[in-house]
Structure 1
């Protein structure tokens, strides 16, 4: 049963890609085909739509039927006081989808004491990323291991700071999706841990990535800086664990950060902050 669901879950990318190709082909070249083929075209189009819906359902629900994996303790990728958004400590899948190994992903926004970050809905709809305290902050490896993927060429775009800008970002995300998960994550680093797990940190600053594929890194090593690349509404660090290197075929794994201090506690704990909760991490 488990193998069957994993297989179904991992063909979602093929279903979605094939459907997009069929629908795009019909929209561009359908008028060039003979009228006699119209019934056939209509039938194929309906099957294509069915394939897209099935692919989306598999992406959203497939791993619900898999056994829960054991939680792995990793090092925080950031230092200082950070706010948690889209946290698996609040809900799973934390980002609303299970695709690309993101079931247990978390987003971290830098909010140091005494500094306010620009708030959503206040001010311009699109701000330069430099106006956010997170932009340029150090990002560290969550595990010791070998780098299997690293990118640094994606640009840092402006924030999406109001509702219309956020809607615009949703359309952007659809276009990025056609380019694959690398365009969604922007600049990112994937490290294979010594235990065989894969740690992802994403939305890094353009040109800040300090490691390359094949290099060995130590836990806590500086690997890049926080940016606003990929499908990101403001500068933040996205991170998650997955079971394999392929973002298309991976399944997300639960994790928690080692020795962080949460808002409502005095002593360090192994945990993840919930949505809207701050954590403080030290080296």
Structure 2
């Protein structure tokens, strides 16, 4: 397969235009109250609902060879949602996250990580081992977006909190990609490839728009901002600097072995990501 070939399936195309559909649909629906034109509200409602429905489309992806990048974290991290287990990894294509991975820092090999706990209902982000962990650039690139003002909220990893998170998530959707990603950095890696780092800690972002960064450079810290149940890094590659219209791109973490050879892999639920500390 040509490494630069991109086959864009219909669900991905719809995922690219979902946010414009939602916004236009909402504006047309409002037009009913402003101009008293009933058909506008019908068209607007169809567009609005179609935009949200695109989130749940089960198939379609940009097909190309995985793009090799270095790991953006150090230490032992669990791949909670990973393209090594399923595609789309999060069950949707929206915001270019078809091949995204969620990495949770979990250094204790003897204790099982649980996605949902009974108690406490909510915890401060500082109580999680990954909060504040450094995040590094996986390749050289240029910063095209950096957001650092969203607060780090309490965890949403208990059943009552998850119900609250579902309602909260709807409100974040209306705020657009920034409300979902929270504090984030987007790097242009070249050749039409962009790397996104989401849910960063407020006040930790070390780069600014237009800045050139090198591979391994510190760009921020793991946080719990945006649509996040607990502190973790959401990492993805995509084909646009704008998540609202981007399609996700496959990737693999490349590691240089002691003998000088390289190995590429994508962490899965059964295989944690083990990156040497620097």
TM norm structure 1: 0.84
Distance 1:162 1:268, change over 3 A: farther
DSSP-derived class of the 2:229 partner: coil
Deviations 1:213-266 (A, max 9, x none): 1111111111000000000000000000001111111110000111299xxxxx
Give the paired residue count.
266
Of residues 13, 21, 31, the one that matches 1:15 is: 21
Distance 1:48 1:196 in 2: 33
Change over 3 Å in CA distance of 1:59–1:126 after alignment to 2? closer
Q: Which residue of 2 aligns with 1:212?
A: 208
Q: What CA distance in whole angstroms lies between the structure 2 residues aligned with 1:162 and 1:62? A: 27
Residue 280 (1) aligns with residue 278 (2): no
Unaligned 5+ residue runs, structure 2?
1-6
Displacement of 1:157 in angstroms is 0.2
Q: Which structure 2 residues correspond to residues 86-235 of structure 1 after superposition, within 5 A?
A: 86-113=81-108, 119=114, 120-235=116-231
> Does structure 1 residue 249 correspond to structure 2 residue 255?
no
What's the CA shift for 1:195?
3.5
- State the superposition RMSD in angstroms: 2.8
Shift, 1:270, TM fit? 1.1
Q: Output the CA distance in 1 between the equivalents of 2:19 and 2:125.
A: 32
Contact kept, 8 Å, 1:257 with 1:270, in 2: the verdict is: yes
Distance (whole Å) between structure 2 residues aligned to residue 13 and residue 175 of structure 1: 14
Structure 1 or 2, whichever has the larger Rg, is: 1
Asked if 1:271 corresponds to 2:265, the answer is: yes
Q: Is the 8 A contact 1:143 1:191 kept in 2?
A: no
Structure that is richer in helix per residue:
1
**Cα distance change of structure 1 residues 62 and 237 upon mapping to structure 2, 3 Å threshold:** same
TM-score, normalised to structure 2's length? 0.85
Q: Structure 1 residues 211 and 117 mapped into 2: Cα distance closer, same or farther (>3 Å)?
A: farther
Q: Distance in 2 between matches of 1:207 and 1:72?
A: 30
